[in-house]
Amino acid sequence: MSEIGLIGKKIGMSREFYKTGQSVPVTVLKVEKARVIQLINKENRGYNAVQLGFGKIKNSKLTKPMKGYFSKKNTEAKKILKEFRVKDLDQYKEGNEFGIEIFKDIKFLDVRSKTIGKGFAGAMKRHNFGGLRASHGVSISHRAHGSTGQNQDPGKVFKGKKMAGHMGDKPRTMQNLEIIKTDLDNDLIYLKGSIPGSKNSEVLLKKAVKNIKKLTINEKIEIFEKSKKIKEKKK
């Protein structure tokens, strides 16, 4: 189950308090159950994968091909369809549903979502340029990026040159975010720290790729309490 992921909605941010008085900022995500729509095997496509459906959508908003697809699969229409490659298809069946319980024994997650769009931004905001002088001799070019080219040779601006342009609204991945707690009754998951994107944006959650040996906050508190008890016994 750790091979597949879930898509949730970012609700906002809050904080969690611990016995030690420590306050930890958390991002709250609403993760509705995913349904297995299709099983893809090596014979048909050359790889094993599970197609999952997320979110609700009205039939009136579906295209004719998608209406036919969902009626053929005899399942409720889903807003998002996403494939996850798996090694073994035996543990999956069409129509099965999965929720945040698949992250039960997982401590850290990788999160992917789109950053907040900032629109068309100048070089100073977009790339942290210093700008030109704000004193005498500079007219209407205080926030300009300066020269972008060379001489007659090469006679062009190279691709990737840092200039003004569209900022934000790009997919970004944050790795190794700690799961602070899960609320199975309300389908909520609390992750440590912030994640990219605005409220109500879609977020992809998967098991952390990197095998890190970092202690969670709860584990650190347990170690602290044990050491405290040992010191009290010695006294």
Closest CA to 24 of 188, 199, 194, 198: 194
What does the pLDDT read at residue 218? 87
Residue 33 near residue 4, CB atoms below 8 Å: no
pLDDT score of 135: 86
Let me know if 78 is exposed, middle or buried by CB neighbors in 10 A (0-12, 13-18, 19+).
buried
* Predicted model pTM: 0.87
Question: Which homologous superfamily is 6-117+170-234 in?
Answer: Translation factors (2.40.30.10)
- Measure the CA–CA gap between 212 and 206, rounded to whole angstroms: 15
- 5: exposed, middle or buried (Cβ count in 10 Å: 0-12, 13-18, 19+): buried
- Return the pLDDT at 168: 95
Distance between CA atoms of residues 95 and 78, nearest Å:
12
> Left, alpha or beta for 228 (phi > 0: left; psi -120 to 50: alpha)?
alpha
d(C-alpha 2, C-alpha 106), whole Å? 8
Residue 84: what pLDDT?
Answer: 93
Q: Where exactly are the structural domains of the chain?
A: 6-117+170-234, 118-149+162-167
Burial 205-215 (b: 16+ CB within 10 A, else e): bbbbeeeeeee
Can you give the pLDDT of all 235 residues of the chain as single tens digits?
678 899 999 999 999 998 888 899 999 999 989 999 999 998 888 999 999 999 999 989 999 999 999 999 999 999 999 999 998 888 899 999 989 999 988 999 999 999 999 999 999 999 999 999 988 888 889 999 998 888 888 889 999 999 999 999 999 999 999 999 999 999 999 999 999 999 999 999 999 999 888 888 888 888 888 888 887 877 6
pLDDT of residue 23: 93
